[in-house]
């Protein structure tokens, strides 16, 4: 007589349908789509078991027949988002393909701003993650390196893109819960930063901020970072 849930299980190993009993009212995709819809519209914090169940139109506890823990719901969401990755026939130019991968991932994360926060290596085995990984490896066929190196390249590129987009979106996502706007939050922080720098305690930072007062070109910074990661693995 095992204690309920005492055995570790991967949600993907669970069959969606077992022979007996009435057939489930929802598919895993239905549930993931509902959760993604809520997160896109109202932010990740709005995704609760109750809210997702309501979105589906079923009782809260019925959800637990499909998703044993909330953590697994997150895993479904990440996989669903990963399903939007559209693979293509590798071009033979692995550099160009990697650039395209990076840009596609960034766009995906802009479409689903909660995604960077949920990204975890733990979710790396989901069906769409595997599909994505295999596609990246296919793109890297022309790169004459060991698979270990290729995996390191993919991990580093992914990590960099995730970190980068997180920096782009984090304030916007976190400010949802606050009674003031993102601009006000930023203004308050910049003002404080200015007052600190004015003390003269940080001469190099002061120089950095006076060097170029113009607005930062996020697009260009991103492209540069991608190029650097690529070059780091195969200098020209």
Partner DNA sequence: CCCTCACTAAGTACAGCGTACGTAGTAGCC
Partner DNA sequence: GGCTACTACGTACGCTGTACTTAGTGAGGG
Crossing angle of helices 94-111 and 127-139, in 10° steps, is 150
Q: What number of other Cβ atoms are within 10 A of residue 1's Cβ?
A: 2
Does 149 participate in binding DNA (rule CB under 7 A)?
no
Alpha helices in the chain, H assignment, sequence order: 28-42, 49-56, 70-82, 94-111, 115-118, 127-139, 147-174, 182-197, 203-211, 218-233
Q: Which two tokens stand for residue 167?
A: 């920096």
Does 37 participate in binding DNA (rule CB under 7 A)?
no
Of 13-21, 88-96, 152-160, 226-234, which part binds DNA (CB under 7 A)? 13-21
The CB-of-204 to a second copy minimum distance in angstroms stands at 4
Does 47 participate in binding DNA (rule CB under 7 A)?
yes
Nearer to a second copy, 25 or 205 (CB): 205
Q: Report how far apart the first and last C-alpha atoms of the chain are (Å, whole number).
A: 62
Does 117 participate in binding DNA (rule CB under 7 A)?
no
Nearer to DNA, 66 or 94 (CB): 66
Nearer to DNA, 71 or 141 (CB): 71
Site residues, a second copy (CB under 8 A): 3, 5-10, 12-13, 71, 120-122, 125, 127, 130, 133-134, 137-138, 141, 146-148, 150-152, 155-156, 159-160, 162-164, 166-167, 170-171, 174, 178-180, 184-185, 187-189, 192-193, 195-196, 201-205, 207-208, 211-212, 221, 224-225, 228-229, 231-233, 235
Chain positions 54 to 93 lying near DNA, rule: CB under 7 A, are 58-62, 64-66, 69-71
Closest CA to 65 of 106, 41, 39, 30: 30
Distance CA 236, CA 233 (A): 10
Distance CA 12, CA 219 (A): 36
Interface residues toward DNA, by CB under 7 A: 4-5, 17-26, 47-51, 58-62, 64-66, 69-71
């Amino acid at each position: 007589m095992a204690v309920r849930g005492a055995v570790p299980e991967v949600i993907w190993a669970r069959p969606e349908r077992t022979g007996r009993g009435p057939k489930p009212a929802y598919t895993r995709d239905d549930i993931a789509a509902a959760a993604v819809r809520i997160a896109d519209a109202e932010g990740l914090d709005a995704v609760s078991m109750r809210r997702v169940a309501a979105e589906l139109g079923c009782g809260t506890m019925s959800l637990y027949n499909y998703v044993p823990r909330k953590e697994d719901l997150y895993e479904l969401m990440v996989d669903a988002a990963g399903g939007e990755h559209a693979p293509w026939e590798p071009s033979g130019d692995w550099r160009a393909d990697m650039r395209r991968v990076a840009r596609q991932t960034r766009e995906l994360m802009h479409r689903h701003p909660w995604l960077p926060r949920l990204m975890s290596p733990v979710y790396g085995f989901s069906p769409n993650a595997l599909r994505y990984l295999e596609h990246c490896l296919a793109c890297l066929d022309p790169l004459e390196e060991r698979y270990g190196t290729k995996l390191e390249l993919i991990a580093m590129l992914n990590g960099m893109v995730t970190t980068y987009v997180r920096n782009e979106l984090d304030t916007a996502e976190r400010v949802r819960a606050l009674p003031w706007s993102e601009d006000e939050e930023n203004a308050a922080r910049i003002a404080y930063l200015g007052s600190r720098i004015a003390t003269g305690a940080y001469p190099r930072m002061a120089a950095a901020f006076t060097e170029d007062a113009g607005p930062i070109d996020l697009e260009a910074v991103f492209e540069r970072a991608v190029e650097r990661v690529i070059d780091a693995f195969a200098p020209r």
